[in-house]
């Protein structure tokens, strides 16, 4: 022992002690380590929302990673990202979280992946200087209680944390809701059998496709759904069509005579129901076919979650010509579907009821008719009590020509004054009656006209979006349409409120109040550039406000100040805010319609709308989580020559600059050597001058 002690005291032991130190450091760092995320949106760090979800798991959650080995770039970076992010999940989760990486070289694991519903995808591979195709696995399976969710074809890291976290959250909430259900949800196919005589493409295969989707969804949801097909008698059709919004079909056939039928798929539980998109349509050649069979499983899953999950309700004001959130073709149905995984719109008719105190936010989406003073007062008091108001307000009522006139007449535009302007001005927001046109706009190439600039559809890139607000922070661009300018000078004067301009047009924009057109061939850029300036198109004001109705309650609300027989008086009128409220105004309702919101919800406008709803309902963390990634960082130039220069600079220019920098360094080193030699040994015989 004495010799060993003396050895460690001697210099000879230094190398041994060094290796022992290295081993100990590796052991410690394997269990306790830190990471530094230098990316702007913190793409490689977990958000607070993700940490909270995995910290509070009540049952075991298992994540199975089905990824092929030796993936080529850029897919190899996706696999590495998944490994890194699940280390973060594991480090912040409780004991109910586990992650397993499945070896896809084994045939039995490929069979397992297919049993979960995963599929191989085809990617390009460069091998032996030749480009070929390769079948690989790139998917995740999440198991929680009796529920199974898959995330397949993960070819990009964009928004991946958001997808993982929201999927886990959805599984947890849906499992709890399904476990507490009394009875089962009912899926009913209403289809008149006589329609099979008309050779409608897909009609005879319709029930089989529905049963297949139903079986898959039912298996993942604790077998809580019952399915049935009904052929309702003719006398019951009007009532069913009115109740569920089913598609009614009439015919007058030489063989079958006159008749009527119906097609529709309804999922209902208790008094609530959802109409699944399924109906008869026409193809390009005018042939009848059944639409909605593609994506049926996904639509059924989303509808079930909306029915049974305890989603947060958002008030949706109606009865003033607002966009219909049940209409996906002409209304804001896509907007409603976009947020349906976490939120549900609750219809509110202000003329008949008050705004429920349980609501955090209300939406006013494209009103066309006037609000009464009493309705405006209800909105005013809701905000002053700490409620949040989201307004999509059109500057004009666009009336499209009907019949034959639609081919040669332009729409007419009538300025809108619904009364909501009174409330908004008290909150510091003034809506101008004009359209904002912008040279930095959506561009489309047309075979007949060539390049078409849709000046009424501004494209706002990063320099036109607020860089700090969670709503717009990580978005690369957003496209609006038919917006009016918003004046926020009054909001700037309110010391108790904070103003954020979420989106504004470029400096090359102008406004039009008369002779309005939305036909790109009829719009020209003003010759006088001095009239152009940036205009506000979406603003957020949060804080405390004053009532638009002054110090006293209006007379129509006399019950609040009425004296009773004992000469007691009551007054619930608020002249000032008692809690901070939030008001977001976007100067067009087109952002909630199908022209701008895509069906998948992956485009920037859809993300912008999701972020608005999340921010107004206290889910700020979801905003940044949703937009993590670099795919939305687009060029801010619109000129084709500038785009080409930027392209070749990134491909070739950077390499040339690096080479030039290296050459300059080499020349500088040689010059320094010559200077040293000239000073200290100018006559060195070993130097051969050339």
In terms of domains, do 12 and 115 share one?
Answer: no
pLDDT of residue 404: 65
Which residue from 574, 314, 582, 534 is spatially nearest to 428, judged by alpha carbons? 582
Indicate the residue among 179, 208, 236 that finishes a domain. Answer: 179
Return d(Cα 215, Cα 329) in angstroms, integer. 29
Shared domain for 605 and 487, answered yes or no, is yes
Is position 650 within any domain? yes
What domain count does the chain have? 5
Q: Give domain status of residue 191, yes or no.
A: yes
Greater model confidence, 572 or 259: 259
How far, in Å, CA of 206 to CA of 38, rounded? Answer: 52
Express each pLDDT in 190-226 by its tens digit: 999 999 888 899 999 999 999 999 998 888 787 889 9
More confident residue, 13 or 475: 475
Higher per-residue pLDDT: 636 or 371: 371
Write out the residue range of the structural domain in which residue 660 sits: 639-690
Task: Look at residue 542 and tell me if it is in a domain.
Answer: yes
**Stretch 117-126: mean pLDDT, rounded?**
87
Residues 162 and 214 in one domain: no
Which ranges of 96-220 does DSSP label H, i.e. alpha helix? 107-116, 160-179, 203-220
What pLDDT is attached to residue 630?
43
Residues 148 and 174 in one domain: yes
If pLDDT is split at 50, 70 and 90, which confidence band does 320 have?
Answer: very high
Note whether residue 611 is domain-resident: yes
| 73 and 199 within one domain | no
Average pLDDT, the chain: 86
Q: Which of 253, 277, 310 is the last residue of a domain?
A: 310
Q: Does any domain span residue 460?
A: no
Q: Do 397 and 329 share a domain, yes or no?
A: yes
Classify residue 671: in a domain, yes or no: yes
pLDDT digits (tens, 9 = 90+) for 264-283: 999 998 877 888 888 898 88
Q: How far apart are CA 274 and CA 268, in angstroms?
A: 6
Pair (625, 592) in one structural domain = yes
Segment 167-189, tens digit of pLDDT: 898 888 777 777 767 788 899 99
Per the rule left: phi > 0, alpha: psi between -120 and 50, beta: everything else, 319 is: left
Task: Note whether residue 465 is domain-resident.
Answer: no
Helices (runs of H) and strands (runs of E) counted in the chain: 17, 29
Reported as a pLDDT band with limits 50, 70 and 90, residue 470 is: very high
Q: pLDDT category, 560, cuts 50, 70, 90?
A: very low
Same domain for 608 and 661? no
Output the domain CATH number for residue 100.
3.40.30.10
Last residue of a domain, one of 179, 208, 238: 179
Distance between CA atoms of residues 555 and 562, nearest Å: 10
- Whether residues 541 and 408 share a domain: the answer is yes
- pLDDT for residue 127 is more than 50: yes
The yes-or-no verdict on residue 41 having pLDDT over 70 is: no
Judgement on whether residues 490 and 616 belong to the same structural domain of the protein: yes
Residue 100 three-state SS: strand
Residues 407 and 306 in one domain: no
Q: What is the mean pLDDT of residues 136-156?
A: 90
Residue 474 lies in a domain: no
Residue 247 sits in the same domain as residue 276:
yes
Q: What CATH number is given to the structural domain containing 546?
A: 3.40.50
Distance (Å, rounded) from C-alpha 609 to C-alpha 617?
13
Q: How many angstroms separate the Cα of 672 from the Cα of each of 431, 665, 675, 677, 678?
A: 67, 11, 5, 9, 10
């Amino acid at each position: 022992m004495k010799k060993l002690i003396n050895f460690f005291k001697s210099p000879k032991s230094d190398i041994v002690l060094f290796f022992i130190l290295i081993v100990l450091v590796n052991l410690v760092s394997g269990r306790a380590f830190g990471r530094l995320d230098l990316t702007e949106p913190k793409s490689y760090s977990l958000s607070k929302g993700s940490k909270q979800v995995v910290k509070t798991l009540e049952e075991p959650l298992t994540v199975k990673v089905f990824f092929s080995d030796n993936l080529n770039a850029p897919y190899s970076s996706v696999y590495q990202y998944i490994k890194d992010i699940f280390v973060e999940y594991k480090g912040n989760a409780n004991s109910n979280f586990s992650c397993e990486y499945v070896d896809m070289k084994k045939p039995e694991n490929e069979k397992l992946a297919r049993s979960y519903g995963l599929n191989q995808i085809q990617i390009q591979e460069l091998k032996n200087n030749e480009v070929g195709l390769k079948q690989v696995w790139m998917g995740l399976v999440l198991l929680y209680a009796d529920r199974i969710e898959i995330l397949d074809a993960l070819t990009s890291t964009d928004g991946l944390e958001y997808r993982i976290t929201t999927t886990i959250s959805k599984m947890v909430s849906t499992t709890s809701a399904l476990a507490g259900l009394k009875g089962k949800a009912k899926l009913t196919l209403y289809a008149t059998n006589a329609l099979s005589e008309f050779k409608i493409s897909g009609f005879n295969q319709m029930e089989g496709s529905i049963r297949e989707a139903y079986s898959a969804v039912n298996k993942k949801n604790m077998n809580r759904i019952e399915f049935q097909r009904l052929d309702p008698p003719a006398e019951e059709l009007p009532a069913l069509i009115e109740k569920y919004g089913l598609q009614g079909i009439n015919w007058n056939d030489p063989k079958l005579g006159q008749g009527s039928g119906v097609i529709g798929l309804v999922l209902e539980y208790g008094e609530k129901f959802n109409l699944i998109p399924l109906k008869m349509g026409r193809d390009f050649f005018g042939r009848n076919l059944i639409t909605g069979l593609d994506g049926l499983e996904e639509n059924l899953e989303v509808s079930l979650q909306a029915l049974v999950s305890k989603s947060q309700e958002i008030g949706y004001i109606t009865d003033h010509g607002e966009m219909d959130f049940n209409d996906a073709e002409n209304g804001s149905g896509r907007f409603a579907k976009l947020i349906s995984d976490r939120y549900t719109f609750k219809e509110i008719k202000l003329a008949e009821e008050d705004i429920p105190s349980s609501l955090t936010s209300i939406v006013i989406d494209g009103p066309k008719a006037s609000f009464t003073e009493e309705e405006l007062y209800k909105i005013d008091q809701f905000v002053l009590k700490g409620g949040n108001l989201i307004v999509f307000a059109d500057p004009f009522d666009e009336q499209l020509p009907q019949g034959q006139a639609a081919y040669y007449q332009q729409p007419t535009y009538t300025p809108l004054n619904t009364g909501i302007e009174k409330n908004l001005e008290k909150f510091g927001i003034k809506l101008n009656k004009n359209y904002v046109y912008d040279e930095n706009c959506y561009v489309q190439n047309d075979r007949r006209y060539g390049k078409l600039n849709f000046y009424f559809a501004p494209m706002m890139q990063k320099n036109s979006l607020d860089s700090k607000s969670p709503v717009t922070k990580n978005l690369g661009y957003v496209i609006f349409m038919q917006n009016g300018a918003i004046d926020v000078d009054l909001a700037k004067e309110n010391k108790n409120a904070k103003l954020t301009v979420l989106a504004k047009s470029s400096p090359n924009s102008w406004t039009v109040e008369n002779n309005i057109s939305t036909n790109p061939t009829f719009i020209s850029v003003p010759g006088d550039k001095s009239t152009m300036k940036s205009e506000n198109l979406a603003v957020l004001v949060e804080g405390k406000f004053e009532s638009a109705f002054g110090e006293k309650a209006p007379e129509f609300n006399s019950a609040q100040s009425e004296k009773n027989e004992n000469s007691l008086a009551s007054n619930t009128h608020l002249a000032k805010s008692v809690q901070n409220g939030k008001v977001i105004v976007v100067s067009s309702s087109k952002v909630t319609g199908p022209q701008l919101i895509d069906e998948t919800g992956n485009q920037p406008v859809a993300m912008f709308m999701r972020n608005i709803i999340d921010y107004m309902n206290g889910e700020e963390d979801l905003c940044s989580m949703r937009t993590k990634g670099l795919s939305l960082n687009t060029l801010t130039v619109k000129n084709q020559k500038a785009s080409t220069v930027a392209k070749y600079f990134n491909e070739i220019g950077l390499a040339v600059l690096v080479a030039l920098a290296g050459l300059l360094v080499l020349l500088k080193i040689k010059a320094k050597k010559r200077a040293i030699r000239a000073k200290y040994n100018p006559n060195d015989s070993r130097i051969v001058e050339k």
